[in-house]
């Protein structure tokens, strides 16, 4: 859209040049996008340029210039807040008081997130086969499709 194309499928990606990528980077920085968003955009553009090169639509010099554009440095504070212990207790007690099946389930989810330190996506993708109650082992597939085992014993 920055260059007047309303349909990305009709954009002449083989005509992408260093100056165009630099204009996109400058625009994103002016709009105060986070460094991770800018870097993800640059990675996507690099991948598109690589594909254009592989399809003989871009020469190696142009690809090399685009690949030479440096990622943006910097970081942002993570979103969210610290949850006081009393608030966790209140949430768990509310779940336990719920007589429906969702009550214990929600309490278990809170425990997995807070005590075991699982990420949201890790909890979402847990399956029954990943939980071995007898041996108290939890098998989790995390970021990068890495599998790990947790032994969340309560050491009361």
- Is the pLDDT assigned to residue 67 strictly greater than 80? yes
Residues β-bridged to residue 139: 149
What is residue 153's predicted lDDT score, i.e. its pLDDT?
Answer: 64
Exposed/middle/buried for residue 137 (C-beta within 10 Å: 0-12, 13-18, 19+): middle
The domain segmentation of the chain, as residue ranges, is: 8-67, 83-115, 121-156
Question: pLDDT digits over 6-48, tens only?
Answer: 888 888 999 999 999 999 999 999 999 999 999 999 999 999 9
Q: Could you give the CA distance from residue 110 to residue 57 in angstroms, rounded to a whole number?
A: 52
* 3-class DSSP assignment, residue 140: strand
pTM listed for this prediction: 0.57
Region 110-123: mean pLDDT is 89
**What are phi and psi for residue 101, nearest 5 degrees?**
-65, -25
CB atoms within 10 A of CB 72: 17
Look up tokens 């032994």; give the residue. 151
Q: Which token pair is 50?
A: 């690589």
Question: pLDDT digits over 119-136, tens only?
Answer: 999 999 999 999 888 888
- Is the pLDDT assigned to residue 155 strictly greater than 60? no
Q: Could you give the CA distance from residue 93 to residue 95 in angstroms, rounded to a whole number?
A: 5
- Is the pLDDT assigned to residue 156 strictly greater than 70? no
Question: pLDDT digits over 82-104, tens only?
Answer: 888 899 999 999 999 999 999 99
Region 102-107: mean pLDDT is 92
Contacts of 103 (CB under 8 A, 6+ apart): 95, 96, 97
Q: Which token pair is 100?
A: 């429906």
């Amino acid at each position: 859209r920055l260059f007047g194309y309303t349909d990305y499928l009709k954009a002449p990606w083989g005509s992408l040049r260093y100056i165009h990528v630099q204009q996109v980077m400058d625009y994103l920085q002016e709009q105060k996008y986070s460094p991770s968003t800018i870097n993800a955009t640059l990675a996507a553009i690099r991948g598109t340029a690589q594909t254009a090169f592989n399809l003989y639509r871009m020469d190696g010099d142009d690809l090399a210039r685009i690949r030479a554009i440096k990622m943006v440095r910097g970081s942002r504070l993570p979103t969210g807040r610290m949850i006081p212990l009393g608030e966790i207790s209140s949430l768990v007690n509310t779940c336990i008081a719920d007589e429906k099946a969702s009550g214990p389930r929600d309490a278990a989810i809170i425990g997995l997130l807070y005590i075991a330190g699982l990420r949201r996506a890790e909890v979402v993708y847990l399956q029954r086969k990943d939980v071995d109650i007898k041996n108290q082992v939890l098998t989790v597939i995390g970021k990068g499709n890495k599998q790990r085992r947790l032994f969340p014993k309560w050491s009361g």
